[in-house]
Each structure stands twice: as C-alpha cells, then as structure tokens.
Amino acid sequence: MTETSRAGTEQRIELEHVEQRFHARGTADGFMTAVDDASFSLTSDPPRVVSLVGQSGSGKSTIARNILGLQKPTGGRITFNGRDIFSLSRTERDEYRRNVQPVFQDPYAIFNPIYRVDRVLWKAAKAFGLAKTRAAADELFEESLSAVRLDPGRVLGRYPHQLSGGQRQRVMLARVHMLRPAFIIADEPVSMLDAQVRKLFLDILLDFKQQYQMTTLFITHDLSTVYYLGGDVMVITKGEIVERGPVATVMHEPSHPYTQLLLDSVPRPDPDQRWTDRITV
Ligand SMILES: Nc1ncnc2c1ncn2[C@@H]1O[C@H](COP(=O)(O)OP(=O)(O)OP(=O)(O)O)[C@@H](O)[C@H]1O
Ligand SMILES: [Mg+2]
C-alpha cells in the first residue's frame, strides 16, 4: 500500500458549543448535562495529540461518542470539513467513517469470541475496499500487524481469548494502520494495560502521528500518559472544559483549581516514606 501524505489537505473536526443532556432522576428539571458547551477543533495538518483528561463521569466518553456519530448532541454542532456530521450524504459518511477511527478501552468487546481475530481486519479491508483478493489482504494484514510490533504468525488464525489484552489492543491499532484515518478517537485505550505494554501502545500512537500524519484525541484520567504523549491537553470537569493548552504549560502552570486538584491527586512514590496504613477491604 502506498504511504499517504496529507500535507496540504487539512482535515478538520470542529465541535461548536456541543451540549449533551440526558434524562436523569432526582434533578430539578429531570435532566443532567453530561457535556456543557464544548468547543474545540481537531486538525490533521500538522498532526497532533490532543488529550482530554478528567475524572470518572466528567463527560469524556460522551464527547467521544458524539464525535464518532454514535450519539447526536442535544445542542451545538459537530462538523467534518465544514459539514455537519449528522447530515452527511452516504459518500461523505463513508469518508468520515474511514477518517475517524475509534480505539476503545476494552478491545475484547469488539471481537466476536467465535471468530478468529483476522475477521476484524478482514471486515475492515472489505468494508473499505483495501484488498481485492485474500492474498492481497494477507499481505496487508502482515504489514499492519508488523507495524504495531505483533508477529503475524502468532496472531493470525487465533481466537480473541488466545491473545493478551495488549495484543488485542494492538490488533485494533493494526486495523487503524490499515485504514490510515486522519483521526483516532482513543477512549481510555491503555487503562487496562500494564506499564510496559502501555508505553508500547503510546509509542505506536506517536509513530502513527509522525509517519502517517494521524491526529489523536486521547481520552484518559491518567495524567502520566498525558505527560508522556505531550502535545495539547484539555481538562474537563462536570461536562465543562475548564482549561486547555500545551501539556507542559497546563501541567506546570495550571490556571484552574480543578487542574491543580488533578495534579495533586497523582501519587508520587516517595522511597523514604513507608506506607504504614493498613488496607482494609
Ligand atoms: N446514555 C446515557 N444516559 C444517561 N446518562 C448518561 C448516558 N451516557 C452517559 N451518561 C452520564 O453522563 C455523565 C458522563 O458520562 P461519561 O461516560 O461521558 O463519563 P466519563 O468521563 O467517560 O467517565 P469514565 O472516566 O468513568 O469513563 C455520567 O454522569 C453518566 O452517568
Ligand atoms: Mg468514559
């Protein structure tokens, strides 16, 4: 497959005053606001990593679902290259789907346990017309699996439960590698991985940015991954983006008290301090 370069053809996702309200019991008006007036853009040229960080329930996944077109916001607008993503023509929608690829926390949920993992790759290759023959597809799978540092011989032909969580997650990255989207929407993709596999995953994302000009919206509650990825960060609390900017600036000079609170809650190991409290469960 030829390498794609997006230089000069900027792709753009724009959120304008996005609001997502849900029915909720026990509130004054019977609604809760999961996303409150969110405005930001993701652009592909130059490619960037933009992290969205906030605690549980702050509205991060809701924003991801809005962008992926899985949930239509109750207010505001999301556009792709200027067109509302909820009123795209069929061709435009296909282009959007190809260009905006999700990676979720638990890849096991995406695999059907009764099929071999190849099927996830095969379905993508078929849906987007990437390979005409089985032989061409196999070549493509091997290339993409190798790009995410998996040994094709040890992955193809296996069932999902025969792979580790980190391997399954990288098969999803291989799928992304095949499709070469302009944008990756990654919702807590490394939360269930151990430190070593987590670093590998993040390094692959950074490779994708560098080599294929992919821009990632990286959703997490973990500031250390934000720090590792660099780029820009947006801090969200109670549905509201309260701070944004380059990672180094936001981390070193937080201007919003909530960001300070997030920073303060990162445990820093202190070898001189032994833990004396008992843990009770
Ligand atoms: N379909 C829905 N119906 C009703 N309420 C919802 C729905 N989806 C999300 N919510 C509520 O919206 C709020 C934000 O949820 P969301 O899943 O976006 O949070 P999050 O930041 O992704 O949290 P976590 O870090 O735990 O994944 C929560 O209070 C949640 O209960
Ligand atoms: Mg979530």
* Minimum CA distance residue for ligand 1 atom 1: 22
Q: Are 184 and 214 in contact (CB under 8 A)?
A: yes
* Minimum CA distance residue for ligand 1 atom 3: 22
Higher pLDDT, 191 or 101: 101
Look at residue 30 and tell me whether its pLDDT is greater than 90.
yes
Look at residue 2 and tell me whether its pLDDT is greater than 70.
no
Look at residue 281 and tell me whether its pLDDT is greater than 70.
no
Residue among 51, 60, 70 whose CB has most ligand 1 atoms within 8 A, to mutate: 60
Grade residue 280 by pLDDT with cuts at 50, 70 and 90. Answer: low
Q: Can you give the residue ranges of every domain in the chain?
A: 12-113+183-264
**Tens-digit pLDDT profile for residues 159-181:** 989 999 899 999 999 999 999 99
CB-CB neighbours of 22 under 10 Å: 14
Give the C-alpha distances (Å, rounded to integers) separating 202 from 38, 49, 82: 26, 11, 30
* Minimum CA distance residue for ligand 1 atom 11: 34
What separation in Å is there between the alpha carbon of 130 and the centre of ligand 2? 31
Question: d(Cα 12, Cα 14) in Å, to the nearest integer?
Answer: 6
Select from 275, 243, 188 the least CA-distant residue to 40: 243
**Tens-digit pLDDT profile for residues 194-216:** 899 999 999 999 999 999 999 99
Question: d(Cα 139, Cα 77) in Å, to the nearest integer?
Answer: 40
Averaged pLDDT score across all residues of the chain:
91
Look at residue 91 and tell me whether its pLDDT is greater than 80.
yes
Question: d(Cα 203, Cα 2) in Å, to the nearest integer?
Answer: 22
Grade residue 267 by pLDDT with cuts at 50, 70 and 90. Answer: confident
Q: Are 9 and 45 in contact (CB under 8 A)?
A: yes
Residue 207 CA, chain-centre distance (Å), reads 15
* Minimum CA distance residue for ligand 1 atom 12: 34
What mean pLDDT do residues 237-251 have? Answer: 96
What separation in Å is there between the alpha carbon of 54 and the centre of ligand 2? 9
CATH code for the domain defined by 12-113+183-264: 3.40.50.300
Q: What angle do CA 103, 194, 251 make, to 5 degrees?
A: 75
